[in-house]
Amino acid sequence: MDQFTPPVTRLIEEFAKLPGIGRKSAQRLAFHVLDMKGNDVVELAKAILNAKKLTKHCKTCGNLTETDICNICGNSKRDFSTICVVEDVRDIVAMERTKEYKGVYHVLYGTISPLDGIGPDDINIRNLITRLSDDVIEVILATNPTIEGEATAVYISRLIRPMGIKVTRIAHGIPVGGDIEYADEVTLLRAMEGRREF
């Protein structure tokens, strides 16, 4: 990297830390930023800083929000008797694209993965159990169809089933090893419609 000045090298290295960005893409992004007008660079930097500073987790479900409660949990038109459990906030965005699911969500922020040292206490399961009340009729387990996602779904279903709450698992319209956030709307809709008791 001797051909670049230290500030450009640092910019490339920072871009390369982003997921899905290789060395060449990082260089392209760095040079794009260098070609931008000064005010546009300032606005980009402000947008990044503001997003980081002003975004927090919903106290109810774990979704991203600017306030204590996200727009889904704060929407009285949602069906609070159904909770869809997802691994990540991006999965909520994917599910909402179907425009069919009217319940609320719960974000785990990961899955149980003993090989990686992640146990049930390391993800947002305890808050899910706390949310369950007499008003909750169904919990939909929408974790990814991976070994970790399946293990997490089994663990959660064993905790919830004795409470008398219906536990369902989304159907496998999503390929095994795939991520919900990359599935198209039709696949997600079929997966939701074909969910089964778990």
Residues 119 and 26 in one domain: no
Per-residue model confidence as pLDDT tens for the chain (198 residues): 468 899 999 999 999 999 999 999 999 999 999 999 999 999 999 999 999 999 999 999 999 999 999 999 999 999 999 999 999 999 999 999 989 999 999 999 999 998 899 999 999 999 999 999 889 999 999 998 888 998 999 999 999 999 999 999 987 767 777 788 888 787 787 778 777 777
Residues 115 and 188 in one domain: yes
Residue 104: exposure state from Cβ atoms within 10 A (0-12, 13-18, ≥19): buried
> What's the total number of domains in the chain?
2
Q: Is residue 175 part of a domain?
A: yes
Residues 95 and 181 in one domain: yes
Domain range enclosing 154: 74-197
Using CA atoms, how far apart are residues 105 and 176, in angstroms rounded to an integer? Answer: 22
Contacts of 99 (CB under 8 A, 6+ apart): 185
Tokens standing for residue 32: 């794009």
Residues 37 and 126 in one domain: no
Contacts of 186 (CB under 8 A, 6+ apart): none
**pLDDT tens-digit map of 7-54:** 999 999 999 999 999 999 999 999 999 999 999 999 999 999 999 999
Q: Is residue 68 part of a domain?
A: no
Contact call for residues 113 and 150 (beta carbons, < 8 A)? no
Using CA atoms, how far apart are residues 59 and 136, in angstroms rounded to an integer? Answer: 18
Residues 110 and 138 in one domain: yes
Residues 112 and 140 in one domain: yes
